[in-house]
Amino acid sequence: MALDLSKEKGIPLDRQTFNWQQLVNLPISKLDADAFTRARIILMNGLETEAMRFSHGLARMNGALRLSLAQVRRIEKQQQTLVNWLLPADQSILETTIAYEQVAVEVTASLAMREPDPYIKRMLNFALLEDFDHVYRYAALMDRLEGRDANNILQSYTDIRPGRPTADQHRDPADDIRNSFNRKDAAGITKLNVMTIVAAENQTMDFYANVGPLYADPLARRLYAEIDSIEQQHVTHYESLLDPNETALGMWLLHEAAEIYNYAACLDEESDERVRRIWEQMLDWELGHLQVAMECFKSAEARDPFEVIPRELPERAPLESHRGYINEVLDNELNLQPAGAQLVPQAQVPANSPSMAYRSMVNGNGSPSEIAAAGYIWSPGTEITARAAGLWGTEGRA
Amino acid sequence: MNRETASQMGVNKTGIGLSPIDSRAMLEAARATHTLPDGHHYDEWRVRWAREAASTIIGSVPPPSTIKGMMKSAADAITGKRPSVLVDQLGARLAFERTGARLYEAVLAKVDSTMMGGAIRSTLERFHEQELRHFQIVRSALQALGADETAQTPAADIAGVESAGLLQVASDPRTSALHCLDALLTAELKDWESWSMLTALADSLGRSEILPDFRLALSEEEVHLDTVRKWVRGQVETAAKRSAGD
C-alpha cells in the first residue's frame, strides 16, 4: 500500500542511534545472495552518497540551514556505511563493477517502465542502452584478464551482449544537456525517477574514478577511464532533466523523498530477511529526515511541501530481470544519438556535429572498449571453456 | 643493465636512511607517545569476531544440476561420503586453471616484450596449453558428477582472492620478466600442491575413473613447477653476476 507522506513520521532524528558494531555488519555472501539484494545495496549506497553530496553543497551556500543539514547528514553518513559495508571483500573490484552496471541497467529499466513523461522515458531508455554495453565490455575484460565469468555476478538476470557501442557514446557537452521537466506540472514519480537515476549514475562515476587506478593492466585502466567519462556524461544528461528553478529547500525535500521511494521499494522486494530488516530501519530513519526537511522548508518558504513532493508515495517497479523490456528498447532505440536536447537517428546527426569531432579525438589512438571486447561472445564459464574443448576435446585428451 | 635482468639502484625514498634528521625527530616524537592502559587488543578482538561469524559462511556449493548428479549425490550420502567437498575442490581447480591460463597469457606477452623468448617462449606456450587441458579434465570430472561447472564454489572464490595479486604482477607493464616468472612460480607451487591433494582425494573416495587423467595433470604440473623454479633461480643468479660486473 502506498505511503502517505503527510502521515508517516518515521523515527525522530534524536532516536536514530548507532555504534560501530551496528554500522559494520557481516556482509552478504557473494555466492549465495540474490543478485538483486546486491543491486539494492549498491543502489541505496548511491542514494545515500547523493544525499550527502547535495547536503554538503547546500551547506556551503546557506548559513541558516547549516546545523539542520549537518544533523541529518551525520545520520546519512552512517546509513551509507551501514548499507555499503554489506558488500563482501571477496567480491573483486571488477565483479563489483559488473554489479554496478547491472544496477544501472535494471534500475533504469524499472524506472523507465513506469515513467509517464515520454521525453523522460526516452532519455532513460537512451542511457540504458549505453550502460547495457558497459556490462558487455567489462565482462569481456574480466574474462580475458582474470579468467572469470561475469554471470557469476549477474546470475542470468541480465544479458551480456553489445548495446550502443561504448566507443560511440562519447559526445560533446553540448549534446549532453536535455530539456528539464517543469517542477509545477511534473508528476511526482517523474521527479523521484530522475533523482534516483542521478544518484545511481553519480556514484558509478565516482566508483570508477577511484578504483580504475587500482588495476595494473593498462587496458583495464583505460577501459575504466573511458567508461568513467561516459558516466559523467550520464550524470550531466540526467541532472539536466531536473527543473533548475526548483528551490534549494525543494531539492532537499526531493532528495529525502527519493530515498524513501527507494527504501520502500527495497523493503517490498527484499528476499533476505536480515537485509530486509535493515531496509525497514532505513525507511523509518528517512521518514524522520523528511520531517526535518519539511520543517525547514515550511519555515523558509511558508508553503506546503507537497507542492514539491507527492503526498502519496508512488511505487517503483520492482528491481528484477527486465530482459523483455530491454530487448524491446534494444530493437527500437539503439540507433539514436542526440542532436542537442533531442534524440535523432544516427544518420540525421549533422556531419559537423561537435560530438563527431570529440569522438574522433578521444578514440584517435584506439578505443579501450573496442580492444577489450574485440570478437567477444559471452559463453558460460568464460571463453577458456570453448578454447580448452577445441584444443583437448571434451575429456581433456588431444 | 636493464629492467629485465637487474635490480637497479636508484632514488628509492621509502627507508629512513635517506632522512637522518627527519627520522631522528620522528623517533623522538614516537617515544613521547602515551598509550592508553591495556584494553582489549587486536588479537583478542579477532578471536571474538571470528567466533561471532562462526555461523556465517562465504557461500555454499550448488546442488547437482542434472538428474544423474542428484542420484549420484544421494547414493554417496548413503555411503557416508560428502560429494560437495570434491565438487568444491574441483571448482577451485577449475577457477585456478582458468585464471592460470590468463596468467600464462600475460607472462607470454611480457616475454614477447623482452629479449627473452626462444626456448622459454615455446615452453611457456606448451605449459599454457597444458593448463587448458587440466581445465578440461576438471570440467569433465565435474560434469561426470552432475555438478554445474559454471558455478563459482566457495573454494573457487577463495582461490580467486588468493591469486589476485599474481595477475596484478603479470599485467603490470612496469614489472620485469623476472617479476612475472616469480608470480608464475607462486602459482605453480599452489597448482602442484592442489593437484597432489586432489589426486589423493579422488583416490581415497574411490573415483578410479578420473584418476588416470588426474595423475597425468599432476605429472605435468611437476614439470611446470620444476621448470619455472629453475628459470627463476637462473634469472636471479645471472642478474646478480651481471650486476656485480657493472
CATH code, domain with B69 = 1.20.1260.10
Are B160 and A148 within 8 A, CB to CB? yes
Could you tell me the three cell numbers for B1? 643493465
Interacting residues of B111 by C-beta distance below 8 A, sequence separation 6+: B117, B120, B121, B124, B177, B180
Kindly tell me if the per-residue pLDDT of B5 is higher than 70: no
The answer to the question of residue B98 being in a domain is yes
Q: Is A146 on the interface with B (CB under 8 A)?
A: yes
Contact call for residues A227 and A132 (beta carbons, < 8 A): no
SS (H, E, C) chain B: CCCCCCCCCCCCCCCCCCCHHHHHHHHHHHHCCCCCCCCCCHHHHHHHHHHHCCCCCCCCCCCCCCHHHHHHHHHHHHCCCCHHHHHHHHHHHHHHHHHHHHHHHHHHHHHHCCCCCCHHHHHHHHHHHHHHHHHHHHHHHHHHCCCCCCCCCHHHHHHHHHHHHHHHHHHCCCCCHHHHHHHHHHHHHHHHHHHHHHHHHHHHCCCCCCHHHHHHHHHHHHHHHHHHHHHHHHHHHHHHHHHHHC
Q: How far apart are CA B170 and CA B188, in angstroms?
A: 14
Residue ranges making up the domain that contains B106: 65-245
Note whether residue B39 is domain-resident: no
Query: How many domains, chain B?
Result: 1
**Band of the pLDDT at B35, cuts 50, 70, 90?**
confident
Asked whether B144 and B76 are in contact (CB, 8 A), the reply is: no
B126: Cβ contacts below 8 Å, ≥ 6 apart: none
Is A45 within the bounds of a domain? yes
Q: B64 pLDDT exceeds 50?
A: yes
To the nearest whole angstrom, how far is the Cα of B187 from the nearest Cα of chain A? 14
Nearest CB to A31; choose among B58, B102, B140? B58
pLDDT at B118 over 90: no
ipTM: 0.92
Tell which of A385, A387, A394 to mutate to test the B interface (max B CBs under 10 Å).
A385
Which residues in chain A are contacts of B59 at CB distance < 8 A?
Answer: 29-32
Domain membership flag for residue A1: no
Residue B81 pLDDT class (50, 70, 90 cuts): confident
Q: Does residue B135 register a pLDDT over 90?
A: yes
The predicted model scores a pTM of 0.95
Q: Are B139 and B149 in contact (CB under 8 A)?
A: yes
All residues at 6 or more sequence positions from B144 whose CB lies less than 8 Å from its CB, including other chains: B209, B210
- The sign of the torsion formed by the CA atoms of A96, A97, A100, A105 equals negative
What is the DSSP-derived secondary structure letter of residue A11?
S
- Taking the C-alpha atoms of B133, B138, B144 and B147 in order, what is their torsion angle to the nearest 10 degrees? -140
The answer to whether residue A184 is domain-embedded is yes
Among the listed residues B230, B222, B175, the one whose alpha carbon sits nearest the alpha carbon of residue B3: B175
Choose between B13 and A178: higher pLDDT. A178
B30 within a domain of the structure (yes/no) = no
Say if residues A338 and A55 touch (Cβ distance below 8 Å).
no
Mode of pairing for the β-strands spanning A342-345 and A336-339:
antiparallel
pLDDT of res. B1: 40
DSSP 8-class letter at A387: H
C-alpha cell at B194: 592442489
Give, for all 398 residues of chain A, the pLDDT tens digit: 689 999 999 999 999 999 999 999 999 999 999 999 999 999 999 999 999 999 999 999 999 999 999 999 999 999 999 999 999 999 999 999 999 999 999 999 999 999 999 999 999 999 999 999 999 999 999 999 999 999 999 999 999 999 999 999 999 999 999 999 999 999 999 999 999 999 999 999 999 999 999 999 999 999 999 999 999 999 999 999 999 999 999 999 999 999 999 999 999 999 999 999 999 999 999 999 999 999 999 999 999 999 999 999 999 999 999 999 999 999 999 999 999 999 999 999 998 999 999 999 999 999 999 999 999 999 999 999 999 988 888 766 65
The owner of cell 570478437 is: A375
In this complex, the residue of A381, A391, A394 whose CB is nearest that of residue B150 is A381
User: Which 8-state DSSP code applies to residue A291?
Assistant: H
If 0-12 CB within 10 Å is exposed, 13-18 middle and 19+ buried, where does residue B90 land? buried
B26 inside domain: no
Residue type at position A213: P
| pLDDT above 60 (res B131) | yes
Q: Which residues pair with B134 in a beta bridge?
A: none
The pLDDT value given to residue B6: 61
CB contact (8 A) between residue A147 and residue B100 = yes
Q: What is the CA radius of gyration of chain A?
A: 22
Give the structural domain span for A98.
13-392
Within the 348-377 window of chain A, which residues sit less than 8 Å (CB to CB) from chain B?
Answer: none
Cα A136 to Cα A122: distance, rounded to the nearest angstrom: 22
Tell whether A218 lies on the interface with B, counting CB pairs under 8 A. Answer: yes
Residue B115 has pLDDT above 80, yes or no: no
Question: Does pLDDT of B76 surpass 80?
Answer: no
Assigned domain for A397 exists: no
A-B contacts at Cβ under 8 angstroms: 113
Please answer yes or no on whether B169 and A216 come within 8 Å at the CB atom.
Answer: yes
Picking from B57, B101, B135, the nearest residue to A29 by CB comes out as B57
- Rounded alpha-carbon distances, angstroms, from residue A384 to A140, A339, A387, B13, B192: 12, 42, 5, 42, 21
Which residues of B fall within a CB distance of 8 Å from A32? 57, 59-60
Question: Which H or E run includes A54?
Answer: helix A35-61
SS (H, E, C) A240-274: CCCCCCCCHHHHHHHHHHHHHHHHHHHHHHCCCHH
**Do the domain assignments include residue B200?**
yes
Q: Which of B136, B158, B167 has its CB closest to that of A396?
A: B136
Please list every residue in chain A whose beta carbon sits closer than 8 Å to the beta carbon of residue B140. Answer: 394-396
Quick check: is B2 in a domain?
Answer: no
The closest of A104, A182, A207, A159 to A327, measured between CA atoms, is A159
Please judge whether B173 and A218 are an interchain contact, meaning their C-beta atoms are less than 8 angstroms apart: yes
- Residue A338, beta-bridge partner list: A343
Return the SS3 of A382.
coil
Q: Which residues of A touch B154 (CB under 8 A)?
A: 31
Q: Is B167–A146 a contact, with Cβ atoms under 8 angstroms apart?
A: yes
Mean pLDDT rounded to a whole number for chain B: 90
In a domain, A2, yes or no: no
What are the percentages of helix, strand and coil residues in chain A, rounded to 5?
65, 5, 35
A390 touches chain B (CB under 8 A): no
> Of all residues in chain B, what percent carry a pLDDT higher than 90?
69
Average pLDDT over residues B164-173: 96
For residue A92, give the nearest of B160, B172, B173 by CB distance. Answer: B160
Could you give the number of structural domains in chain A? Answer: 1
Residues whose CB is less than 8 angstroms from the CB of residue B64 and which lie 6 or more positions away in sequence, other chains included: B70, B72, B73, B83, B145, B146, B147, B148
Strand partners, A339: A342
CA dihedral (A284, A287, A289, A290) in degrees, to 10, reads 180
Does residue A398 lie in a domain region?
A: no
B50 contacts: CB under 8 Å, gap ≥ 6: none
Residue A344: phi and psi, rounded to 5, are -135, 160
From the number of C-beta atoms within 10 Å of its C-beta (0-12, 13-18, 19+), residue A320 rates as middle
Cell of A57: 553543497
Q: What is residue A398's predicted lDDT score, i.e. its pLDDT?
A: 53
Interface list for chain B against chain A, based on CB atoms closer than 8 Å: 52-53, 56-60, 95, 98-102, 106, 129, 132-137, 139-140, 149-154, 157-158, 160-161, 164, 167-169, 171-173, 175, 213
**Inter-chain residue contact A381 with B149, CB threshold 8 Å:** yes
Quick one: average pLDDT of B194-223? 95
